Amino acid sequence: MKKYLSFTAALLAALFILSGCAGTSESGNSQGVAIQNGAQTTGKPFHDLADYFLTGTISGSEVISENETMAAVGMESEEEEVKEGVVYLDFPFEDEMKDYTLYFVDTDSTGEHCVFRLFDEKSTLVQEFGDLNIQGKPEFKYDYLDAAVDFAAISVFPKEADEEFCGYYFAMDLANKHFYPESVKIPKYDGVVSGTYNRLIYTEETDEMSGKRDFYQIISEDNRCVKCKRWEYKFSEKNDFENVTQKITNTIDNKVIYEGPVQLDNDREPINQDFYKSYILNNLNIYEGERDDSILFYNIDDDFLDYKESYDSKEELLKALEMEDNDHIGTYDDEFGNEALDVYYKKSSKTGVVFMSRWQYDSNLKKWASVTAVPFKGMTSTRSLVSFEIMTEKSEMATGGYIKNIEYISGKLKSLKIMDFNRENEDAGYETLIEENYIYRDDGSLYYRGHNHSAYYYEPTYMGMNEKYDELSRCLYSAGYIENGSHEFYNFYEGEKKKPEYQVFIQKSSDTGYFVQLFKIK
């Protein structure tokens, strides 16, 4: 897309750009033109998380050489290099900045001191940032790369580079209508994968029989980019897209977290995108706080969680509770191989303790767990599991007929949506009553089930819930929403038995804290 300015404004902007900001004072002002420098920027605002799936490069960069006038802005940059002067960038500004313009300028015609210059709707220079060494023709990308914001950022790369992190990424500060001046060094990426809470960039290598993607997470708060995951696949025979094996590795730990079959489409994309994304995008808690290796223990006083104690290690706490190895009930590891739950119960005293671990990485990318220990009393024997019952009956408040939207993948139910007409508010039209989503492994076994229902038509308890399953289609974990917290159920199996031996129930509430029950399944 080509962009043209009014001749007067464009000429003034071009003259100012090509002048190299001669005469700029220490305050950042030059002949009445305001410049917002790095010292005047503030910290990043937090925005609501959202899913945006815009990927790839938005083309449209144009070059203005020192010998050209603004009338030539529409010329495309097929062969020009930075040393020829100025590159106009067709950046997709949000509505608040729709009349702003952005240029990339070689200030000394060497490519060693390139800067971005941002002009407002009055063609006033409001920010200069960068000072980058970009030799040859630059390449630009304008993608949504930060899951914490919902607008594009700008990245610039040299056309050819030997180093892995050769590019520069600048995030947009929309609240203050400028870019953050601190850059993050990033690789020259080939694509973006997006989810609700994370977005990762990736580089890709392929040959006739295999392929590899390396994934990177941009950590804007720390101004760095971290290689975090790798996805590899191999064909059993050339172009046999239905007989392919895959391996997913956590490259921070150098640990394989999944191996199994995968079906690819003709573009070598996984057909089962939901399962692929669940392993690529999750378990990326990088540098979320100060490291603390101590165990936080919630003690019990008269059956209520009353006060907290800190222990240096799990072994120290178990010794204080007089727990031994034979009191160990079991350990629950999540799908990434992290110990999430560890349970002990002493029959003689009828007391137990649950260790809950949340794994993350410190600023040096060393893995550690924030561990909370909660005691409990007694064990209940039961013949049946505590589980969720999916609602199928229509609410009395909804009098219209159902609309069902059903989607399948490989012959299995992928999603289900039940809707009804809102008789309370005719202008509202149809609304969702129940929605379910299923994720399967590529071998066909159920991996995840999610359920949501309307709290208006049904009880708010468990209005949102999810379950995880193993390769034998056994439910390992269930969690459901309650007011001010959640209910969680963990199942412990012996060998390949279909029925669990134990089930642990944990209530987490911002009002009452933790409550734990242990069930022995008969």
- 36-59 pLDDT, tens digit per residue, is 322 222 222 222 212 211 222 223
Instruction: Share the mean pLDDT of the chain.
Output: 79
Q: Which residues pair with 33 in a beta bridge?
A: 30
Q: Which tens digits make up the pLDDT trace of 433-476?
A: 888 899 999 989 999 999 888 887 788 888 899 999 999 989 99
Amino acid at 393: E
DSSP class of 394: P
Whether pLDDT at 15 is above 70: no
The residue among 479 and 401 whose pLDDT is bigger is 479
pLDDT at 454: 84
pLDDT of residue 461: 84
* Concatenated DSSP letters of 326-368: GGEEEEEE-TTS-EEEEEEEETTTTEEEEEEEEEEE-TT--EE
Q: Which residue has the tokens 């220990």?
A: 373
Nearest one of 159, 196, 163 to 52, comparing CA atoms: 196
What span, in angstroms and rounded, lies between the C-alpha atoms of 519 and 178?
57
**Cα(18)–Cα(77) distance, rounded to whole angstroms?**
17
Mean pLDDT on 99-119: 93
pLDDT > 70: percent of the chain: 77
Residue, of 413 and 24, whose pLDDT is higher: 413
**Which of 144, 134, 14, 9 lies closest to 73 in space, CA to CA?**
14
Instruction: Render pLDDT for 181-192 as a digit per residue (tens, 0 to 9).
Output: 999 999 999 999
Confidence of residue 387 (pLDDT cuts 50, 70, 90): low
- 487-521: pLDDT as tens digits: 999 999 999 999 999 999 999 988 778 899 999 99
CA distance 519 to 383: 10
More confident residue, 402 or 392: 402
User: Which pTM does this prediction carry?
Assistant: 0.77
Place of tokens 């003034």: 12
